Structure 1
Amino acid sequence: MTPKQLQQHIANRTFLPVYLIFGKEEYFVERYVKSLTAAALEGADEEFNYDVLYGSEVKGDTVAAAANSFPVMADRRVVLVKEAWKLHGDPHLAGYLKNPSPDTVLILAEEEITKDKRKSGGKKKFNFYQHLSGLSEQPVVEFGEMREQSLISWIQDEFKERGKTISLEACARFLALKGSSAREIAAEVEKIAVARNDAEEIEVEDILNLLGASKKYNIFELSSKILQRDTKSAIEIAARLLQTENAIGMIAFMSRQFMILWRIKYYRVQGRITDADARAVGLGWRFQFEELAKHARNFSPQYFDRCFEHLLAADAELKSRPTAEFTVVSRLIYQLTAPDDAV
């Protein structure tokens, strides 16, 4: 089952008797578990129809007993089991999953079911998946780590729910400034929507202003000045950024930019650049590819060989011993902006 199909279950109030919801993205696991629980309990008294259990604290017979209880003046009851993987080897839960109660929505929630967790019980202990196959619809929903394109689409949807639009470029800047943590992104979307309550569209300038990035002194301008080989401006921006930013994070961003630039240099575009071309080199959208492609032709293969060495050396120096961050970053900028034959 996909997350979108689960959302349809929630919207249509059509529920399966069991759901297994897990994945690396804890925020989405929590969010969908909460939405599913609220929808299934709509109009019911939670005190009598809702149980939260932990796989590390109870046995399968306790879960089965709670799930087999009848709803009290309600259409159904909900039993939520967190840390569910700890019950993989329990025969009582295995028995319940073969014949679940139609009056209960049992939600088995877990951050991530790894291979080690699946194997932890040995051959004789059951696996959730094999006992869920008899249901009319596969109830397993996984929230894996989201790629940039998916995150951008999700950010756009989040703003759309709040009656706003956001440009692709603004989304890309948003991600570069806040990272890929879904929980942090959701919190920032809410803050921006409130701050720009009267605006219909969120622009790049809104992102820079509201996320604390100066229009002139930000990581994008630093990257741009390095690619233009404007050493003086790049060092000026870096000095300002280091007042609030982490040098290792700045170097990580630069490393990613140069890796993508290297891919673009050797990527052969068939006709007009498309979003598919952008995804092939690690970007999300065509405009990002076009922006970096303008610089790629200015760098030789030898330049890339040496620049990656400098980036790795700077990162290792900062992580291995106490060093003045500005000294390391400014030296790196001199190295990255030097002519090809001097790099």
Structure 2
Amino acid sequence: MLFSQYIQKIKKGGIDSVYLLTGEELFLHHHAQHLMKTALIASDAEAFDLEVFDGSEFQYDAFINGIRALPLMSKRRLVIFKRFDKLDSRQIPSVIKELEGDLSKVVILFLYEEKIDFRKKTVLEKMRDRYTWVNLAPQKGAEFERVLKWMLDGKKIDANLTAFLAECGADLWQISGWLEQASDFIGENQPLTLEAMEKFIDLGGFANIWRLTDAVGNRDIKQAQYLLYNLMRNREKPNFIMWGLKDLFIHLDPICKIRQQGGRLDSFAKTTHLHAFRFRKFNEMSANFTPSETESALAKLEKTDFKLKTSAAEPESLLVELMDDIIGRK
């Protein structure tokens, strides 16, 4: 069963007893559990019991004794086995047999979070044939966008998630838009990480990097500063330096102005404003230039004289030095 079929079926109330959920993306495992909990609540007015076990810490004898000591169930029960690959395969049939005494009351989710080859996993193969197997593959379209928003709620946007979005078939413009929207609800302590930005660049998204600056700049101006510094060090992507970076500085400029305190800009805001000015000047000068004329424009831009008094230990000064080097000598 595809993940999309799993979603459609349980939303309509078609809930089976035993599920084998396989896939390497933990985000989808979390979402599959969330959907099942929501479906159980919708299907039954009374609450349900939830039990979660970790396969790496599972104690079979204690589990069996606990099950047998319980009274007959009066309400539904959801049992989740995380890291199912760590369970002793010889114990799995007994675990299921003990739990499925009343199939109308119990739902079991076995979560297999590693890459799987059914040809080499006889127990898994039998389970796939006997129970409901759900392949947690990435989804596309509107349903995937809803999944994405749920996944990002309160979570950090990291390099793995950025790569995952690309694997889903979403183009970089869509990804940048989703991440930009995510900045509105990810929480102030869960910013877009530097690694995620760098992964986005590696995937070829440097032309759209300016769309993501709010996710960093509005949360933590220092983080934006280090982000710029690290990205500017990458000299192997001249297209990013030439086009993405200039848009990034221009976009950050008003953010820095808004954040000024007491009518004074801090050193990073000054640095940003300086290079936003330089790049605006460069845009004006090189709009219709040939490559040779662009080189000449860069030479003129180098002569734009702005001095900032910053400590050598401060990243602002490193940013200025790198920027001067890129603009003046590239």
Structure whose CA Rg is larger: 2
For this structure pair, what is the TM-score category when the shorter chain's length is used for normalisation? 0.3 to 0.5
Q: TM-score, normalised by structure 2?
A: 0.45
Q: TM-score, normalised by structure 1?
A: 0.43
